[in-house]
A and B are shown apart, each in its own frame.
Chain A
Amino acid sequence: MLLLVVLGLGIVLGLMDVINLAQSGFMAVGVYAALAAAHRGLEFWLAVLIGTAASALLGALAELVVIRRLYARPLDTLLATWGISLVVVEGIIIVFGHGPQSFDEPFVSGVPMLGVLYPAYRLLLVAAAALAVAVLAVIVRFTPWGLVARMVMANAPLSRALGIDTVRVRQVTFVLGSALAGFAGAVLGPIQGIDPYYATSLVAPAFLAVLLAGRSLSGLVLASAVLAVATTVFSRYFNPVYATAVTVGVAVVLLRVFPQGLTRWRG
């Protein structure tokens, strides 16, 4: 589950050196847009699509108005994206009100797995996350766009000198990241409580996972797996609140041991 959240954040950070604290805002937009669509009687998946599109649109706007001006100032980006999330949250409150909302799971059946009944929807989420990773991996590895993106990531000035529109690449990346956030927000809606501060609790762990991951997809998967397992194990055997603390602690320590990310520990 964390993986889905982390993905969008990961490509944005990895490709653009932008630390996006607004990711939770984009997730909230995704889920609220999907919710609004669902209330108008649309199919669940169509609603998810609309949620994704809405946050992509917002991402494009944010990039155009704010992020683009800050590429050279990463610390300021961190602050600005936090400002964006503030605005988004307040915007949602104005439109939808403070109260919690709920989003029905599209299907409630369970699948027996290893002797326990596991909700089918959660399985589907796992599959969706895996699919998203796979698609992204293919794009980054094998398509020309992926190559260009990796070039910009490695050396932006040189890429610009070679005639690549780095601004455009960054824009596409940011929008893609926002879209992923919206998608994650929308599909996670049914299994989470929805309120305007939706997903803010996920941002800190997701953020840490991204830093842990370094700049590779496999790192992302590994890092979110490590953190997710740490959280689950702890909330299972100890107190769920301590689990948050422990997860964050684990991430902070790991980050110090592997400053370049888990997959580059040799360097």
Chain B
Amino acid sequence: MTGRRADRHLLARSTLLAAAGVAAVLAPLLGDRYTVYLLTQAFIYAALAVSLDLVWGYAGILDLGHAVWFGAGALAVGVMTTTVGRDGMVVAVHGGAGTYLVAILLGMAAAAVAAAVVGAYCFSWRGSTRFYVAIVTLAVSVVGEALYLEQRWTGGDNGLFGFQLRQLDRVAWYYVGLALLGLALGIGILLTRSDFGLLMRAIRDNEVRARHLGFRVDHLKVAILAGGAALAALAGGVYGAAVGLVSSPLFGFLFSTQIVVWVAIGGRGTLLGPVLGAIALEFASSSLDRSFPDQWQLLVGLAFIAVVVFVPDGLLPPLGRLLERLTLGGEGRGPARSLLPLPVRGRADGEGEVMAALADVTFAYGSLQVLRGVSLEVRRSELLCLIGPNGAGKSTLMALIGDGTMRHGGSIRFGLHGVDTHRGRTVDRLARSGVIRKFQTPSLFESLTVAETLLLARHRGRLPSLWRRTRRIEVPGAVVELCHLSGLDRHLDVPAAALPHGLQQALELAATVAAWPDLLLLDEPTAGLTVQERRVVGEVLRRLSREQGRTILLIEHDLDFVDELADRVVVLQDGGVLADGSTDEIKRSERVRWSYLGVSTPS
């Protein structure tokens, strides 16, 4: 969006928010005691919804046990401020404001640790899917509720009660609730608008790609889940202190799904949507529950189904678009981020050194032997083309070089800074050391724009800032050139999913180059491109290797292209190296002509 338009948009939005804020601040002067109490509760729930939105809406981790973290916060306050008698009933309440504060902090710490354990268990496993996390968190919720009932220190069936902090009256609690919501929203907005927010969405969109750009996806997901749990526990602690009640349903599956409903109906990944969803549903259900308890729940259920089926993004995005059209008209957006070329570094030293040495590498998918002893060397700043018929094992070989955890025979050694052996090194570890792979079919972060993708790629696994929002992205000159020649620079603010195929290819290539790898693995980067586009890509690649010392391993089918580009060619056939030499040597080789080109004698 152009500057002025963006300003107007921001102004409209801030005015709305400010109006809502003023209304919220003044509300207790107008409403009756019960309304004030309901709103307080709704605000706390809204903060809880924000914490789930960060975890689920932004990072894509469906946490069906989110209530447990909230419950843990409330329970910590309850346990530290009450004395339970032999029969499991609360007999005394004690503790001053300080105790409450410490209890809330302890609750947050406990929830974060518990969530980190659950997360580490779920995410450390390679075969883990999105469902597995959902199932395990669901199980945590079921188990949590069951265990709660059995403990004396939790009050068992009755729960703990009567421990609300009495120094504050209802109106004061109202403002505490409001402040909590403001804090949660503030954290949420800061985080999601920062560079780190991009990474969260990147992980949600395409974990594999994030890993291949060097990010420690598993650790990040654990951290995000733990952070969300801590925020939920904070809300729970405030709830405990304000309401003075904790019991097993707070941990249960039903309450967990309730939170999911708020977020889903409001609009996951919008922060404001879940807040409005939680406040509206909670407030409405509390007021309507008394007159039509059952019909109301039925309605909520129906609304939930309708939202899931017809507006999976939730209600806020379509409403927001409507508002935007009303206030701003339907004009397109200009670039909000721009690229800045980095000064070109000189050629790297050590040209001709061995970058990667493969010795007798074998690999099999089950009983299918794909690689039968491949030996080859890739030297620094050379452009090595890998050719061969379909099924020769080219892509497998490339995948293997980029992932040290695939079980294989033989050895692969690198001449990179920091890594020499390959075995056991994860994809992200290798990517951080400078081995980056481009997939055969474009693998991108669908909701991230071109500029955002390049920004993340630039980080190559380094943790992006949690609060800063980078607008000028410094990228190597080659990336600027690629973007300019391919036309990507006219689409810097278009989400990857909305790009045509050719530009998606170009974007993934640009992103892998932006990561500035020492060893670039390219699996048919020009597949599906026009002749013109190919020439552009070829030109940039050649300069990358000759002038800027990058080493490139390239799979290619177009032999003319190979001829123009390659320093050296390796022909792979049937899982073995058929020939290895300069393009001229390869072209002259009888065996290659016979097996690959289908010609038996030079004509």
Contacts and interface: CB of A to CB of B under 8 A. Distances in A.
A241 B301 contact: no
Contacts of A252: 135-136, 139
Given A80-B305, A80-B309, A82-B257, A244 B139 contact: no
B349 to A, nearest CB: 47
B294 A79 contact: no
B134 A244 contact: no
B436 interface: no
Contacts of B298: 87, 90-91, 94
Sort chain A's interface into a size bin.
35 or more
A80 B264 CA distance: 11
A248 B150 contact: no
B149 interface: yes
Contacts of B264: 79
A245 interface: yes
A78 interface: yes
Interface of A is mostly: helix
A75 interface: yes
B92 interface: no
A93 B139 contact: no
Interface in A81-112: 82-84, 86-87, 90-91, 93-94
Nearest to B134: A78
B143 A248 contact: yes
Contacts of B146: 241-242, 244-245
Contact of A255 (B135, B143, B150): B135
Interface in A195-247: 204, 207-208, 211, 239, 241-242, 244-245
Contacts of B309: 66, 69-70, 76, 80
Contacts of B294: 90, 93-94
B147 interface: yes
Contacts of B131: 19, 74-75, 211
A190 interface: no
B305 A83 contact: yes
A141 interface: no
A27 B261 CA distance: 23
Interface in B44-78: 62
A199 B32 CA distance: 41
Contacts of B301: 83-84, 86-87, 90
A204 B62 contact: no
Contacts, number: 91
Nearest to A93: B294
Contacts of B257: 82
A245 B147 contact: yes
B138 A204 contact: yes
Contact of A244 (B127, B130, B142, B295): B142
B204 to A, nearest CB: 12
A251 interface: yes
Main secondary structure, interface of B, reads: helix
B263 to A, nearest CB: 10
B132 interface: yes
A76 B312 contact: yes
Contacts of B261: 83
A79 B260 contact: yes
B27 interface: no
Nearest to B141: A204
Contacts of A40: none
A146 interface: no
B302 interface: yes
A119 interface: no
B300 interface: yes
B304 interface: yes
A73 interface: yes
A249 interface: yes
A127 to B, nearest CB: 30
A44 B298 CA distance: 30
Contacts of B138: 204, 207
B130 A75 contact: yes
A56 to B, nearest CB: 20
Nearest to B145: A244
Nearest to B129: A259
Contacts of A208: 135, 139
Nearest to B138: A204
Interface in B99-145: 125, 127, 130-132, 134-136, 138-139, 142-143
**Which of A91, A207, A245 has the most chain B CB within a 10 Å cutoff?**
A245
Contacts of B308: 70, 76, 79-80, 83
B414 interface: no
Contacts of B302: 83, 87
B152 to A, nearest CB: 13
A168 interface: no
A259 B125 CA distance: 10
Contacts of A241: 146-147, 149-150
A86 B300 contact: yes
B253 interface: yes
A239 B138 CA distance: 21
Nearest to A204: B142
A84 B305 contact: yes
A231 to B, nearest CB: 12
B293 to A, nearest CB: 8
Interface string B307-337: 0110010000000000000000000000000
Max chain A Cβ within 10 angstroms of own Cβ: one of B127, B149, B305: B305
Interface of B: 62, 125, 127, 130-132, 134-136, 138-139, 142-143, 146-147, 149-150, 253, 257, 260-261, 264, 294-295, 297-298, 300-302, 304-305, 308-309, 312
Interface of A: 19, 66, 69-70, 73-76, 78-80, 82-84, 86-87, 90-91, 93-94, 204, 207-208, 211, 239, 241-242, 244-245, 248-249, 251-252, 255-256, 259
Given A75-B62, A86-B300, 6 more contacts: A70-B308, A83-B304, A84-B305, A204-B142, A241-B150, A259-B127
The 5 lowest CB-CB distance pairs between A and B, nearest first, are A86-B301, A87-B301, A83-B305, A90-B298, A83-B304
29 contacts: A19-B131, A66-B305, A73-B312, A75-B62, A76-B308, A76-B309, A79-B308, A80-B305, A83-B301, A83-B302, A86-B300, A87-B302, A93-B297, A94-B294, A94-B298, A207-B138, A208-B135, A208-B139, A211-B131, A242-B150, A244-B143, A245-B142, A245-B143, A248-B142, A251-B139, A252-B136, A256-B125, A256-B132, A259-B132
